[in-house]
Amino acid sequence: MRALPLHPSARGLEDDCAVLELGSETLIITHDMMAEGTHFRADADMADVAWKLVATNLSDLAAKGAQPVGVLLGHCLSADSARFIVGLEKALRAHNVLLLGGDTIATKGPSVFGLTAIGKATHTPVPSRSGARVGDAIYVTGILGRAMLGFEGAAEHLDAFNRPRPSLAEGQTLAPHVTAMMDVSDGLLLDAYRMATASNCTFDIASKYVPVADEARRAQCMRWGDDYELLFTAPEDAELPVLATKIGHVIAHDIAPLWLDGELISEPDQLGYQH
């Protein structure tokens, strides 16, 4: 797709959102999809699926420090459509987001849903994956691994998997202070690898500093994904306006994009969820 005619706002299809300047406003546009069997089980509560569809898209806006404007929905009609609408309404109201429109289809195959989220920048330049600089510190918000534990049935973490919370307020607050930022959707290590690659540098991360929900399964917590926390870089001496944990430093490009506990990682295989 990168060989297709690309609008400059597409950022080379190497970021989570398009950043479109229109007059005095900068629009942030993203589109995510969810498919039965890949992103949710066939027996999932469709209200949870709808909530998560909204939340994952808003999480991309959060990583740009954007304020949501509205969403466009692509909805696959099914016997559970009423439950889907219940979850959709709760998600939209919870995040103060309005439905702009979209399309519905009927199909006999597995359910597939798409959502386009539109926001406006609260700070320019808009954070990207590619802005990390040598000497920056690397931070992550929240605790990783809660979605994994919720997926496995841990009662106290069920909402982390079924109804994640996009870090919209944190993203808007951080936008003026970060050099690079993205949400952790596919696993901390894989997303750190991607950010370092985009920034043409190397991330040196110490796993012992990464905040995890299960100390005995630290490695899995860093790889499983679906956390929707914010991974970002900022100058070492920056006074951050939100709670975040420093997990490493940005160093000059050193053969590979990622050092983990002194081990050079040159391939992203097994670092996280790839699809």
Ordered by start, the domain boundaries in the chain are 8-121, 137-265
Provide mean pLDDT across the span 230-254: 96
Mean pLDDT computed over 140-162: 97
Residue recorded with tokens 């950022």: 11
Q: How confident is the model at residue 249 (pLDDT cuts 50, 70, 90)?
A: very high
Which range among 1-15, 99-113, 206-220, 244-258 shows the weakest confidence by mean pLDDT? 1-15
Instruction: Give the pLDDT band (50/70/90) at residue 6.
Output: confident
Closest Cα partner for 221 from 248, 263, 184, 267?
184
Q: What sign results for the dihedral spanned by CA atoms 115, 121, 123, 129?
A: positive
Encoded tokens for 141: 């918000």
Burial label for 207, CB within 10 Å (0-12, 13-18, 19+), is middle
pLDDT at 195 over 80: yes
Task: Examine the pLDDT at 272 and tell me if it is beyond 80.
Answer: no
Q: State residue 273's pLDDT score.
A: 65
Q: In 3-state terms, what secondary structure has residue 5?
A: coil
Q: How many CA atoms lie within 13 A of 101 on its CB side?
A: 0
CATH of 8-121, one of 3.40.50.150, 1.20.1440.230, 3.30.1330.10, 3.40.50.2300: 3.30.1330.10
Q: 8-121 and 137-265: same fold?
A: no
Band the pLDDT of 274: cuts 50, 70, 90.
Answer: low
117, 171 Cβ separation under 8 angstroms: no
Over 60: is that where the pLDDT of 275 sits? no
Region 201-221: mean pLDDT is: 97
Fold of 137-265: Phosphoribosyl-aminoimidazole Synthetase; Chain A, domain 2 (3.90.650)
Residues with Cβ within 8 Å of 70's Cβ and at least 6 positions away in sequence, in order, are 97, 98, 99, 100, 117, 118
How confident is the model at residue 9, as a pLDDT? Answer: 86
- pLDDT average, residue stretch 111-121: 95
Q: What is the mean pLDDT of the chain?
A: 94
- Whether the per-residue pLDDT at 68 is higher than 80: the answer is yes
pTM for this one?
Answer: 0.94
* pLDDT bucket at 267, cuts 50 / 70 / 90: confident
Q: What is the pLDDT of residue 221?
A: 97
pLDDT over 60 at 260, yes or no? yes
Spell 211-242 as b/e; 16+ CB within 10 A means b: bbbbeeebeebbbbbbbbbbbbbbeeeeebeb
Query: What is the mean predicted confidence (pLDDT) over 91-111?
Result: 93
Distance CA 68, CA 175 (A): 15
For residues 142-160, give the mean pLDDT.
97
Residue 266: per-residue pLDDT: 81
Span 230-256, average pLDDT:
95
Residue 230, pLDDT > 70, answer yes
In the prediction, which pLDDT does 79 show? 79
